[in-house]
Each structure stands twice: as C-alpha cells, then as structure tokens.
Amino acid sequence: MNMHPVLHTAFLSCSTQLEGVDTTTAQLHPEGKPNVPSMQQSVEQVLCSIRSSCELLERRLKRGRLPRAIKRTKLEWMLQVMILGFGFVPSNMPLTEYYETRKGATTAYAGRDLARLLEMEIARLDTLLDRCRAEFGMERVEHHPLLGPMRVDQWRRCQVLQLRLLTKSIVSMRNNLVEPVTQSTRQTASVA
C-alpha cells in the first residue's frame, strides 16, 4: 500500500512488534491485571480513533469547504506545541478519546491480523489526508477531539505519535505478560 513515508515507518515498527503474537497472547492482560488493556484492546482503541478521524475528514470533504471560525483555545494550542511540536505525551494522557471495547463482543485476532487491520485503516486515513491537503491546502481542516483544530500535517504527526505509543505499549506488554495458570501448569509446578 502507498502510505506517507513517516506514517509507513511508524506502522512498520508497530507491525513488527505484532508479528509472531498468537491469538491467545493478544488477549492476555499485562501482569495478569484484567483492568489493563490487552494487546488486542490497545490496537482496537487505536483503530477506533483512526475510524473516528476518517469519519470527520470524510464529512469535511463531503461539505467541500473549511469550517467557519475554527480557532484553538489556549489549552489546545499548548497541547499541540507540547505533543505535536516536541513529541511529549504525558503518561496519563491518551492521544485518543476513550472508546469502550466490549468484552466478548469482538473476534479474537492474532498479531498479524491486527497489523493487517491497522494497515488498512491507516492507509484509508492517509488517503483522506492527501485528499484534504489537495482540496484545502495548509488550512486547519477539522477539529481533533483532544487537540483542537489541526492541519493535515498535524493529523499525520498525531497519528505517528499514536502508533509510536502503541508500539511502545506492545513492547512493554510482550515483556510483562503472565500466562494464565492452567491445570497443566499447576501439575507441572506441583511435580517440581
């Protein structure tokens, strides 16, 4: 798929970490804590964010004009400078709105399938960003739910940061996974 080079690099880094993750591992919660999202839930969170961005950009393209009086608040300006300018995201601040992932409502995926889903959605977003750039130039095209009105290059930068955070999260999860205790592991432990 043809993708913006910076976005493609961030995606490749993330998909590399998802490779080799089987369906069971993708469902495990780090350190066995059910309140901490699994790999699949983390990827689904990013997918929901990308889809939400796509819907906003599609509506903007359908309208065919820029929004009137699209101004940033001081807080949005500071967040854009801190996050998009310096790449610093506070550890307790997500770059996305929280999207509830219902337990048991989604299909269990392996890492390569999650990477494929991510690739399709990122390519869709990238195409929409290219279309917005062609139609609106360097103007602020839409209002991001957390960062306020942003230009196309800022949307891309935000997505790259989101992918980097996801990659970092996946690496951390892979290092901190505790396999669920099954009957066979109990028997093995009792024999030793």
Question: Which CATH number is 155's domain given?
Answer: 1.20.120
Mean pLDDT of 92-103: 54
Alpha helices (runs of H) in the chain, residue ranges in sequence order? 5-18, 23-27, 39-63, 74-79, 111-136, 152-176, 183-191
Give the pLDDT of residue 110. 92
* pLDDT tens digits for range 151-168: 899 889 988 988 998 999
The pTM of this model reads 0.79
**Domain count along the chain:** 1
**Residues whose CB falls within 8 Å of the CB of residue 92, separated by 6 or more in sequence, listed in order:** none
In angstroms, the CA 8 to CA 76 distance is 27
Look at phi and psi of residue 20 and say left if phi exceeds 0, alpha if psi is from -120 to 50, else beta: left
* pLDDT for position 182: 39
- In this predicted structure, the answer to whether residue 177 has a pLDDT above a threshold of 50 is yes
Q: Tell me the average pLDDT of the chain.
A: 82
What is the tens place of the pLDDT at every residue in 108-152?
A: 899 999 999 999 999 999 999 999 999 999 888 888 878 888 889
Query: How far apart are the C-alpha atoms of 70 and 72, rounded to whole Å?
Result: 7
Domain ranges, residue 126: 5-191
The answer to whether the beta carbons of residues 79 and 145 sit under 8 Å apart is no
List beta partners, residue 144. 148
